[in-house]
Structure 1
Amino acid sequence: MPNAGDYYEIELKNTHLNWGTYRKTASRERITGEHFIPVPRAESKRLGIYNKIKGTGVGNNEFYARSADGYYSGMVKISGNNEQGDSHGKNIAESGNLKGFHDWFVAMNMKVGTRIRVEWISSTEILFTVL
C-alpha cells in the first residue's frame, strides 16, 4: 500500500486518453469520453498498488483524489491487471465512472505525451499534477 510521499510519473498515450474508442478488443460498444491514468507494472509492484483481489475500499483499491490545479476531485479506483489472477492494478479511473476524468482532461488540454505525477499525500489520498 502506498504511503504519503510515494509517487510516480507517467506519460499519457492514446489508449489512456480515448479508452472507450481506442481499444484492441471488441468486447463492448465504443464509448466516447472514457479516460484512465495508467499504473506501470513496475510502479504497481514497487508501491504495492493492488486491484480488488487484495481487498476493496478506501486505502485498498479506492482513494480520495484531487488534481493540483483544483479542477478534479473524486473517488478513484485501482483496477485491471496484466494477467488473469494478478493482484497488481494497472489503471486508475473514477470509481464507477470511466468518464469521470473527461472534463478535467479536456480543461487541461491533455494529449498524447502529457505527463502526470500521481502522488499519495496520505494512505487514502492521491494528488494528480499535470507536469
Structure 2
Amino acid sequence: MAKKGDCYTVRLTTGYLNWGTHRYTESRDLIPGEAYIPIPSVNARQFNIVNSNATQNRDELGKNVFEFVVEDNFMSGHLKAQGNNKAGDIYAKQFSVLNDLKALGSWFDHIGASVGTEIKVEWLTPTQILLSKADKTESH
C-alpha cells in the first residue's frame, strides 16, 4: 500500500490525452474528451494499486479507489484504478475519475497539457492523492 510521500511521474502521450478518440480498439464509439493517467506496472506493484479483479468488483478506498485533489484545487473527487496489461491481472494500468472519463481531459485542458507534459501522482495519505503538473527537473 502506498504511504505519504510515495509518488511517480509520467509523461503524457497522445493516447493518454485523447483516449476517447485515439484508440486501437473498436469496442465502443469514439468519445472526445476522455483521458487518463497511466500507472506504470512497476509502480502498480510497488504501491499495490489494483483493479476490480482484486476487489471482487467492489470499489475499495486505498486499493482501487483513491480520493484526489489537483494542485490548484481545480477539481477533486475519486480516482479509480482500472484496466490491466493482461486478462485477469490484478494490477491496474490507469487512473480515471470515478464515473467520469472526461474529467481528467478537462483538467489536462485547464493546465495546458500536451504530448510530453509530465504529471506527478503523489500520495498524501494511503487513501489520498495529489495530482500536479511535474516540475521538469523531477525524475521518473
Q: CA deviation at 1:107?
A: 1.0
**Backbone CA RMSD of aligned residues:** 0.9
**Unaligned stretches of 5+ in structure 1?**
none
Aligned to 1:101, what secondary structure does the other structure show? Answer: helix
Q: Structure 1 residue 102 and structure 2 residue 105: aligned?
A: yes
Residues 48 and 63 of structure 2 are in contact (CA less than 8 Å); yes or no, is this contact kept in structure 1?
no
Matched residue, 1:14: 14
Query: Secondary structure of the residue that 1:53 maps to in structure 2?
Result: helix
Is the contact between residue 68 and residue 129 of structure 2 (CA under 8 Å) also seen in structure 1? yes
Aligned to 1:48: 48
Question: Equivalents in 2 of 1:89, 1:113: separation in Å?
Answer: 22
Q: Scaled by the length of structure 2, what TM-score is found?
A: 0.90
Aligned partners of 1:100 and 1:91: how far apart in 2? 14
CA distance in structure 2 between the partners assigned to 1:2 and 1:104 by the alignment: 24
Q: Could you tell me the TM-score, scaled by structure 1's length?
A: 0.96
Using the alignment, how far apart are the partners of 1:41 and 1:75 within structure 2?
A: 21
Kindly tell me the number of residue pairs found equivalent between the two proteins.
Answer: 131
Unpaired segments ≥5 residues, structure 2: 135-140
Deviation at 1:22, TM superposition (A): 0.1
Runs ≥4 residues deviating over 3 A: none
Q: Once the two structures are aligned, what percentage of the paired residues are identical?
A: 37
For 1:124 and 1:46, the matched residues in 2 are separated by 15
CA drift of 1:36 comes to 0.2
State whether residues 18 and 105 of structure 2, in contact with CA within 8 Å, keep that contact through their aligned partners in structure 1: no
| Contact kept in structure 2, 1:72 and 1:101, CA below 8 Å | no
Structure-to-structure mapping, 1:56-67, within 5 angstroms? 56-67=59-70
